Structure 1
Amino acid sequence: MILLVLGLALWVGAHLFKRLAPDARAGLGSSGKALVAVAIVAALVLMILGYRAAPFVAVWTPPPFMVHVNNLLMVVAVFIYGMSATTGRLRGKMRHPQLTAVKIWAVAHLLVNGDLAAIVLFGGLLLWAVAEVVIINRSEPWDRPAPGPAKKDVTLVIVTIAMFAVITAIHAWLGVWPFPG
């Protein structure tokens, strides 16, 4: 559990560094980007290793139907995450599509995982995403981008389906079958 908490703390610190200490971050110059990138990768490794090694401490038992809710929310999360890269009509409909997707992802995973490590990991990342949105909204104005062509949104739907298939395949490969039955 210690690795999980350290990874989560490093993730939050690396992501909030630019916002909470902009002068210190600017003082690092371009090498600061590499430092933050290394910290984020290290945080991911620590969170993954910590989560996999954490003892299973049951806090609550999710009802079986939550798997369906999780899968639906995951399709939505992948779609919304993709909105950050789209140049279609949906561009500019949401200020923080990536952070919103992280929040949906975290809630979806909290619905199907009732153990302490899952609550720490997914709950911690949910709290981070909420804090990040609040900090960004308070500190930076938003220039809403102009919408692009609708055909790009069709591409987003196709990419969402493909990415969801890849994500479910990775879960299956890791031994976590994401579908009931």
Structure 2
Amino acid sequence: MLVLILGVALWAGAHLFKRAQPARRAAMGEAGKGLITVLVLLSVALMIVGYRGADFIPLWSSPAFLTHLNNLLMLLAFYLYAASGLKTAITRRIRHPQLTAIKTWAVAHLLVNGDLASVILFGGLLAWAVVSVIVINRAQPVWKKPAPAPVSREIMAAVGAVVVMVAVMLIHNWLGVTPWG
């Protein structure tokens, strides 16, 4: 569990460093981007190793129907993430679509994974995303909405979300986790 906790903490610290220490991060220049990238990749590796190696300590048992809600929320999360890059209509309503996608992803996984390692991983990343939104909104209280986008971007985001969803589900199956229900 310690490796998992270190991974989540490193992820949060690496991502929040720019907001917590803006002068120090600015002083690092371009080299700072490389360091942050290495720290983020290390955090992902620690989270994967820690999660896969953690003992299964059950906290609750999820009813089977939540698998379908999880899948629906995951499709929404993938759409929000794609919409962020394409600046679709929803990005005019949601200020932080990528962080909202992470929060949706985390909640979806907490619904169907009632063990301690899952609470640490998904709950920790949910907490990081919530804190990130708060910190960003305090640092930049004025939000300039993106310009309206053509419908073609909406279609690209929706199709992209479905394609990524299928790919991720197939990877889950390959890893021995059946997300289909």
TM bucket, shorter chain: over 0.9
* TM-superposed deviation, 1:88: 3.8
Give the gaps of 5 or more residues in structure 2: none
1:174 aligns with 2:175: yes
1:134-177 residue CA offsets vs partner (Å, 9 max, x unmatched) = 00001013211101111211121111111111111111111111
AA aligned opposite 1:24 = R
Matched residue SS, 1:59? coil
Runs of 4+ in structure 1 deviating by more than 3 angstroms, as ranges, are: 87-91
Q: Structure 2 length as normaliser, TM-score?
A: 0.96
Contact 2:87–2:146 (CA under 8 A) maintained in structure 1: no
Q: Which residue of 2 aligns with 1:11?
A: 11
AA aligned opposite 1:51 = Y
Superposed, 1:1-181 pairs within 5 Å as 1-140=1-140, 141-180=142-181
Aligned-pair Cα RMSD in Å: 1.0
Cα distance in 1 for partners of 2:126, 2:16 equals 14
Q: Structure 1 length as normaliser, TM-score?
A: 0.96
| % identity of equivalent residues | 49
Cα distance in 2 for partners of 1:113, 1:88 equals 31
* TM-superposed deviation, 1:89: 3.5
Give the gaps of 5 or more residues in structure 1: none
Matched residue SS, 1:42? helix
Cα distance in 2 for partners of 1:5, 1:87 equals 34
Deviates more, 1:66-75 or 1:150-159: 150-159
* TM-superposed deviation, 1:133: 0.2
Matched residue SS, 2:47? helix
Contact 2:91–2:97 (CA under 8 A) maintained in structure 1: no
* TM-superposed deviation, 1:81: 1.0
Cα distance in 2 for partners of 1:7, 1:154 equals 35
